[in-house]
Amino acid sequence: MNSSLPVVRDTPGLRSQVAAWRKHGLRVGLVPTMGALHEGHLSLVRTAKEKCHRVIASLFVNPRQFAPHEDFDRYPRDEASDSGLLAGAGCDLLYAPDRAIMYPAGFATNVIVSDVSTPLEGEFRPHFFGGVATVVAKLLLQALPDAAYFGEKDYQQLQVIKRMARDLDIPVEIVGCATVREHDGLAMSSRNAYLSADERRIAARLNHILHDAIKAARSGDAIMEVEAEAARHAAAAGFTSIDYVAIRDAETLQPVNDLAHPARILAAAWLGKTRLIDNMAV
Ligand code: AMP
């Protein structure tokens, strides 16, 4: 594995590399990450590499998307290991800005995407999408890639970013990529590292509960009843608290009464101090 991935840490360095590639007619893809990389992240890099001549991964643990009581300080950080993994997946450049580059003194702008940010994650983590939209807007404008790749694992985030790029005329194609799962179906997440062995076993139940709920909804059970039943199953499986299990319009994330339009089931639930999210197409 080539672990000597070139790294740039500031915007001029990033832009001059992208400009050099562009001059040669190369298509450039960007994969934004917060590090602690796993197969889910690497699948985004591989997909980007299939569609683009050059792929940049960014690594920045974005303080603005964590509330003060959340896990910013204990979020896993290992740039050397991440850099090796990225090189092995075909990444060409690591962009690893520090906080002063992303949020210099006097930084005063917050990108707020209404409507699609409001329900679900927006309700339980009110600071979150403002932080995400702000940092992703910056990363897109700093790199100005042809395309940027995001996981469906964070489904509402993907819809928020698509809306933002459309609304602000950011000339970057936003591409969603399928969720990568462990063998037992648990969606890969950097936060899975927080789980004890017992919690890890319970965590794997979530995707099965969502599958069962999809079956029930497709067989005609009332949406609200399906959601409530799935939440009961999650509690019975050992989840300590359920923030939501919801079947929503796949684009707007607004409630639906039936499956006449494409819909998505989304869930967020706690195991002790760890919050897990998952979602699937209905
Ligand atoms: P994060 O480092 O958690 O901010 O995630 C960076 C990107 O990787 C986001 O676009 C995530 O949606 C994506 N991602 C995280 N986990 C997965 C997964 N299991 N499958 C696919 N994409 C993922």
Tell me which residue has its CA closest to atom 8 in ligand 1. Answer: 41
Tell me which residue has its CA closest to atom 10 in ligand 1. Answer: 150
Round to whole Å and give the CA distance between 160 and 251: 9
- The ligand 1 atom at the shortest distance from the C-alpha of residue 188 is 19
pLDDT digits (tens, 9 = 90+) for 83-105: 999 999 999 999 999 999 999 99
> For residue 107, how far is its CA from the centre of ligand 1 (angstroms)?
27
Q: Give the active site residue among 24, 38, 41, 233.
A: 41
Query: Which residue in 175, 121, 118, 120 sits closest to 151, CA to CA?
Result: 175
Q: List all residues whose CB is within 6 A of at least one atom of ligand 1.
A: 33-34, 40-41, 43-44, 150-151, 153-154, 177, 179-180, 187-190
- The ligand 1 atom at the shortest distance from the C-alpha of residue 35 is 2
- What average pLDDT is seen over the chain? 97
The model's confidence at residue 2, banded by pLDDT at 50, 70 and 90, is very low
Return the best residue to mutate from 31, 39, 44 for the ligand 1 pocket (most ligand atoms within 8 A of CB): 44
pLDDT at 197 over 80: yes
CB 17 within 8 A of CB 143: no
pLDDT at 146 over 50: yes
Indicate the range of 68-77, 148-157, 204-213 predicted with least confidence.
Answer: 68-77
Please give the full DSSP string across the chain, using - where no structure is assigned.
Answer: ------EE-SHHHHHHHHHHHHHTT--EEEEEE-S---HHHHHHHHHHHHH-SEEEEEE---GGGS-TTSSTTTS---HHHHHHHHHHTT--EEE---HHHHS-TT-------TTTTSSTHHHH-TTHHHHHHHHHHHHHHHH--SEEEEEGGGHHHHHHHHHHHHHTT---EEEEEPPPB-TTSPBP-GGGGG--HHHHHHHTHHHHHHHHHHHHHHTT--HHHHHHHHHHHHHHHT-SEEEEEEEEETTT--B-SSSSS-EEEEEEEEETTEEEEEEEE-
What does the pLDDT read at residue 87?
Answer: 98
Regarding pTM above 0.75, the answer is: yes
Round to whole Å and give the CA distance between 10 and 97: 6
CB 40 within 8 A of CB 188: yes
- The ligand 1 atom at the shortest distance from the C-alpha of residue 34 is 2
- The ligand 1 atom at the shortest distance from the C-alpha of residue 152 is 12
**Is there a catalytic annotation at residue 233?**
no
